[in-house]
Amino acid sequence: MRKYSWFALMALVLMSFVSTPPQKMKIYLIGDSTLAVKSAGAFPETGWGMPFANFFSEAVLVDNRAKNGRSTKTFISENLWAPVASGLQKGDYVLIQFGHNDEVKTKASYTPEADFVKNLLKFVQETRAKGAFPVLITPVARRSFDDSGKVKETHGVYAALVRELAKSSGVPLIDLDLKSQVLLQQYGPEQSKLLFNHLEPGEHPNYPEGKKDDTHFNELGAREMAQLVLQEMSTLNLPVLRFLVKNKIN
């Protein structure tokens, strides 16, 4: 019995010297279909959060919780936010992009302007309470041009609310609405279709009748938007960028 106890004690001592692997920093993505992970049946539709995850080393885990069709209201009411808030650790990041579904009055996900701001503030405050870092993102632009070929603003009110909250709360802002408009203008009315889920009938088995979607991206468009987010993160000088895998960005 004494011999067994001695060995057990030594094992405990040795185990105390074994270092546990460091916990990975997490970047949570919360938002709607424009950044969500897509099923194989939706391909080539691609959320920008999918390529975004591949730009970081193994020291960072990108945890994409975005869901199709969600607004700030439904992200909270469907209990999608609570697990993120409870799992946050000090030093994590939460990238917050909503607006597409909040702003459409005919949808059940519609969120009045005051509630939209209140919900965003909830995400920000509960993230900060855990010692993590919130980043607000304006909703990415839809593909829309006027008759003269100039890109149109498609999120004016709700994008402005995000900007105002970021300023008043001192939260880093990625103005993806503005940056994606600039990118779409560079591509132009016709070439910008190459970024979206635009398919002719018979072109892809997932969409035998074709698809003309000016909201959701294909692989190229998702990567372009992910790179815009990374560029803005670099401008903000966010420390997490030290974990970027440089040769995957361009």
pLDDT band at 78 (very low <50, low <70, confident <90, very high): very high
CA distance 110 to 36: 19
Q: In terms of Cα–Cα distance, which of 15, 20, 45, 13 is closest to 32?
A: 45
Residue 239 confidence (pLDDT) above 70: yes
Q: What mean pLDDT value characterizes the chain? A: 91
pLDDT in tens, 113-139: 999 999 999 999 999 999 999 999 999
For the chain, percent of residues with pLDDT exceeding 90: 84
Asked if the peptide bond before residue 44 counts as cis, ω within 30 degrees of 0, the response is yes
Token pair 């199709």 is at which residue? 68
Looking at the DSSP bridge assignments, the partners of residue 25 are 60
User: 17-21, 137-141, 239-243 — which one is most confidently predicted on average?
Assistant: 137-141
pLDDT band at 24 (very low <50, low <70, confident <90, very high): confident
Q: Which domains does the chain have, with CATH numbers?
A: 24-248 (3.40.50.1110)
